[in-house]
A and B are shown apart, each in its own frame.
Chain A
Amino acid sequence: GAGVSQSPRYKVAKRGQDVALRCDPISGHVSLFWYQQALGQGPEFLTYFQNEAQLDKSGLPSDRFFAERPEGSVSTLKIQRTQQEDSAVYLCASSSPSGSSYNEQFFGPGTRLTVL
């Protein structure tokens, strides 16, 4: 079946612009995660949803970052007033608690954000 999809794949923003990044998880996956990956580093956790409930947003770096998943499927990560340090790849992952006690997470292709 289809994997996790993300759009746009690339985004160039001028400093101060707002951006919105979309994630479509694997159909039926209950849990959805957002990660930020800087060059040469591993992904770093941003936030996590179970269905429409945001259970953990401890990784969001500032109040300029906001995520939502209003109907428990598609999620949007919004970054307001972008700064150059926001430049990174934003990865979305989904997992399903059913059928696997290990809750493997499967990643989308990411959105590469460049802030000029």
Chain B
Amino acid sequence: RKEVEQDPGPFNVPEGATVAFNCTYSNSASQSFFWYRQDCRKEPKLLMSVYSSGNEDGRFTAQLNRASQYISLLIRDSKLSDSATYLCAGGNQGGKLIFGQGTELSVKP
């Protein structure tokens, strides 16, 4: 079993839809969690750090559930420009990150 797992998708949604991704992790010692966005043939770009209390940035909301060992990303009012691969990652503070496989999102007009 991989240390960080994501549903690879693809998730095909219409513009304006709300879409949610989950990511599970197996290392209970992980302290820091992140969501990255990766466009085709580009580098991962940090989307959000995931805080224990949950955090929101515009249309994006991230949650951490330590008891069930998963993190989630909610995207409201999807835009065409949200089409990308979303990578979740976890790690120890200051150390290496373990990434999931990535979830592909395609937002259609």
Q: Is the CB of A102 within 8 A of B102?
A: no
Total contacts A to B, CB within 8 angstroms?
58
Q: Is the CB of A91 within 8 A of B43?
A: yes
Name B residues whose Cβ lies closer than 8 Å to a Cβ of A: 4, 8, 32, 34, 36, 42-46, 49, 87, 89, 93-102
Name A residues whose Cβ lies closer than 8 Å to a Cβ of B: 31, 33, 35, 40-45, 48, 50, 55-56, 59, 91, 95, 97, 101-110
In the docked arrangement, what's the CA distance between A91 and B44, Å? Answer: 9
Q: Is the CB of A107 within 8 A of B43?
A: yes
Q: Is the CB of A42 within 8 A of B49?
A: no
Question: Min CB distance, B23 to chain A, in Å?
Answer: 10
Kindly identify which residue among A31, A43, A109 contacts B94, using a CB–CB cutoff of 8 Å: A31
In the docked arrangement, what's the CA distance between A107 and B100, Å? Answer: 16
